[in-house]
Structure 1
C-alpha cells in the first residue's frame, strides 16, 4: 500500500469513527451525568470504547497483525511451584477483571468492547527441558520472544495470554502478554499483586476472595464518553487546541530517509547519567522551585532544539490517569498522552527554560482530562502516515527500576525480553535511581542507528551537567 492509498484509508477510517461516535453519543447513557461519579453500567456484557481504546483500535485497523502494542511481563519463579494454585489464582483474576476477557467488534456502525463470561484458565506448560540441540536458556529466550511478539486479533482473541515455561523441576517462567488496548504499566502491578495474593490463598486451601471492585473498566469508558457528550471536557479541549495550534514538525537528523510508511521496527539502548549529575539537577530544581521531571524536559527541549534547529519543541509524555480512588485497582489502559510544548526562540538560560517547563507541565496536568485524540480532531491536524501526530519524541520519568514483587515462598526474578518494535521515533523511559538517571531508549530503526541515538543522549548529558 502506498502513502496516498494509506492516506485515503486513514481519512475513510476517521470518517467512519466520527460516524460511530455520533451514533453512540445519541445512545441511552449507561452512566447518567451528574457530579462526575462513575456509575456501574446496566449492561455488563458490553461497553463503548474508552478514548485510548478508540485510538489503539484505529491504529490496529490501519495495520492489523502487528505486535507493536504488545506489553509483556516474564517472571522466573524458583522453588516449589503449585501449578493448580497458580491456575486457580489466574482464573480468579480473570473473573474479577472484565478486561481480561474482552474482545472488540463493530455492530451497526458502532464500536464496542464485548465482555465474555469467565471460564477456568488452564496454563499451557512449555517444557524447555526437552529442547534438543539447543541450550535450555537459549530455547527459553526464543520461546519468550515468540510470545512477546505474537500479534493479537482484537475481534477474535482475548487481549491477554498467560503461559508457563518449565526450565527445571524447581524453575518456571510465568509469562503474560497483553495488548495495550486493555493494559498499561500500572495494570501490571495490580494484576501481579492480586495473582500473588490469590495464589497464597489457593495454596492455603482458603476461599479466593479480594475486596470487590467498585467499577469495571467498561464503566470508566462509558463515563468518559458521557462526559464528552455532556460538554464536561470542553474547557480542557479548548485549552489544548489553543496551546498546540500550528505545531512545528520536529525534524531530527537521521541515518536514513523517513519512509512513507513506518515499519515500526525498533531497538533499545541503555544510557546512564551519573549520580553526581543527578544531584546537580536536584539542586537546580529546588533552586527554581521545579520538579526533577520539569528539569529533565527542559534539558531534552534544549537538546532537541539544537539538533533540529527549531525553537518550537513538542514532547509527549504519558499520564497514568489513576488519580481517582476507584481507578487505582483497575486492569485496563487508563493512560492519556499529554503534550509538552516549549518555545526557545529567545535563547533562554537553562534555569529560565526549567521554569517554563514547570509551567508547561503544571498546566498540562491541570487540563489532563482532555483526550489526546479529541485534541487532534479539534485542531484539524492532517494525518501523515509516516509519523505520529503532533509529536515524535516521548519521555517519562519513573521513581525507580527496582522490582520488589513477591510470590509466597518462591524466588522471583524479572526477565527482560527483546521486542524489536518502536511506537515513536524516540521513546525515552527514565528511571531515578541511586546510581543516577537511567535511560532506556526505544528508537525507530527505520530512521536511526544506535550510534546516533547514543550521541543524542550524550548531548543531553552535557546540557544537564551544566545544571
Structure 2
C-alpha cells in the first residue's frame, strides 16, 4: 500500500491498540493531507495490520516434514468435503475431470511409468480417508498403482465419445478406498487418443491439476527419451500442511476468524432471486455449468486503466461490474458473492497436489445509488478485508 510505504519513509509508525489504530510520528510530519489520507484509509490499514499479525503467528510456526507414526488429520477443507460425502454417499459432484486430446504416436508404457512416478511423488495420490469412531483421518499407502485403462473408441461418433466421457466422469469414489484417482486413455484413431484424468476434489483442486499435467508431461518425455527425469524433491507433503494448519488455526486465532465471519454474514440473504426463464429447483441437482468469454485486448486494457485510477485490481473492477448486473436484475442492494482463492500461502505448497482452494464470501452494500467509482471503493474494501480473514 503506497500510503504505508510513504509513512514508513517519513518515520511514522503504525500499530494496533486493541481495535484502534495507533499512529506515532515525529513532530511536524503529519500534515493535513496525510491526516486526511489516514482517516480515509483507516479501516483498510487496520485490516492489513491484523492480517500481518496473524501471518506473523503462522510464519512463526514452521511448515516442515512431520512424522507419519500417527495418522495425519484432515485439513479443514478436506473435513468439509468428507462431511458432505457422509451426508450424500456416492455423489460425484466433487469429481474433478480433465480431458486432453493427444495427437501423434503415444507410448503407453512410458505414460504408465510417468503415472507411477507421479503417484510415488505425491502422497495425496496414495491417500484415503477412513474413520475411527466417526473421526476421519488420512491413511497414506506406501505403495499403490493407478493403472492407465486403455479403451478402444475408434468406431465411436463424437456424440458417443462425449457421452462416454461424461459417464466416466460421473462415476463416484469411495473416500475410504484409495486411490481416489482414475486415468483412462481412449483410442479414437490410430494416432489419436483422449486422456481422461478423474480425481476427487478432496485430494486436488484446479491449481493441482496444472501441477499434475505439467509434471506428467515432463516425466513422460523423460521415459520416452530413455532418460527418466528426476524432479526436484518436495520439501513437504499435503499431510504436513494439514498438521500445520490444525496447529496454527486454533485457539484465539480460530475464534477471531469465526467471530469475524459470523458478524460479517449476520442477516445476509440466503438466496438471490433472479428473473430466470425457469424456476429454481427445490432440490440441489449439481447441474451447473460455466461459460467462458474472452474480452478484446483493448477492452481489457481499458478495464485495467479504470482499476489503476481507483487503486483497484482488474478482479475488483470485474466484481463490481458483476454486482451491478446482479443488482439490475434482482433489485437487491445486499449482494453476496462467493469467490475462490488459492489457499497456498507458502512457497513450499505451490508444487503440491492437494486441496488448498477455499471460497471467500464477499458481501457488498449497493444502497444509496452509488456511482461506479464509489462501488469499486466499497468492493475494494470488502475484498481486502475478506482476504485478510
In which range does the TM-score fall when normalised by the shorter chain? 0.7 to 0.9
1:83 and 1:267 mapped to 2: Cα distance? 33
**1:279 CA displacement:** 3.7
5+ residue gaps, structure 2, are: 1-57
In the alignment, is the contact (CA less than 8 A) between 1:70 and 1:177 conserved in 2? yes
Separation in structure 2 between the aligned mates of residue 120 and residue 58 of structure 1, nearest angstrom: 27
Q: CA deviation at 1:80?
A: 1.9
Aligned to 2:372: 350
Checking the alignment, whether the CA contact within 8 Å between 2:115 and 2:146 is kept in structure 1 is yes
Q: Deviations over 1:217-247 (max 9, x none)?
A: 1111111112233433443333333222221
Q: How high is the TM-score relative to the length of structure 2?
A: 0.79
Structure 1: stretches of 5+ with no match in the other structure? 1-32, 368-467
Q: How far, CA to CA, are the matches of 2:228 and 2:172 in structure 1?
A: 35
Runs of at least 4 residues off by over 6 Å: none
Q: Which moved more, 1:324-333 or 1:59-68?
A: 59-68
Residues 34/286 of structure 1: CA separation in 2 closer, same or farther (3 Å cut): closer
User: Aligned runs of 1:262-281 on 2, under 5 Å?
Assistant: 262-271=284-293, 274-281=296-303
Per-residue deviation, 1:349: 0.5
Structure-2 separation of matches of 1:45 and 1:146: 38
**Could you say which residue in structure 2 is the equivalent of 1:314?**
336
Q: What corresponds to 1:362 in structure 2?
A: 384
Which residue, out of 362, 372, 387, partners 1:340? 362
SS of 1:314's equivalent in the other structure is: strand
TM-superposed deviation, 1:34: 8.2
Q: Distance in 2 between matches of 1:337 and 1:44?
A: 32
Q: What whole-Å deviation, never above 9, does each CA across 1:45-76 have from its counterpart, x for those lacking one? A: 83211111111112222222222111111111
Shift, 1:292, TM fit: 0.9
2:84 aligns with one of 59, 63, 69 = 59
For the residues of structure 1 that align with 2:309 and 2:60, how far apart are their CA atoms? 39
1:331 — aligned with what?
A: 353
Greater relative contact order structure (CA < 8 Å, 6+ sep):
1
The equivalent residue for 2:74 is: 49
Shift in Å at residue 163 of structure 1? 1.2
Q: State whether residues 187 and 194 of structure 2, in contact with CA within 8 Å, keep that contact through their aligned partners in structure 1.
A: yes
Q: Is the 8 A contact 2:95 2:169 kept in 1?
A: yes
The equivalent position to 1:112 in structure 2, one of 119, 130, 137, is 137
CA contact (8 A) 2:320 2:379 kept: yes
Instruction: State the SS of the aligned residue for 2:60.
Output: coil
CA RMSD of aligned residues (A): 2.2
- 1:258-285 deviations in Å (ceiling 9; x for gaps): 4443122234445555555434322221
- Matches of residues 55-454 of structure 1 in structure 2 within 5 Å? 55-129=80-154, 131=155, 134-135=156-157, 137-249=158-270, 250-271=272-293, 274-367=296-389
Q: Which has the higher helix share?
A: 2
Q: 1:259/1:77 Cα in 2 relative to 1: closer, same or farther (>3 Å)? A: closer
CA distance in structure 2 between the aligned counterparts of 1:233 and 1:200, rounded to whole angstroms: 45
Larger radius of gyration: 2
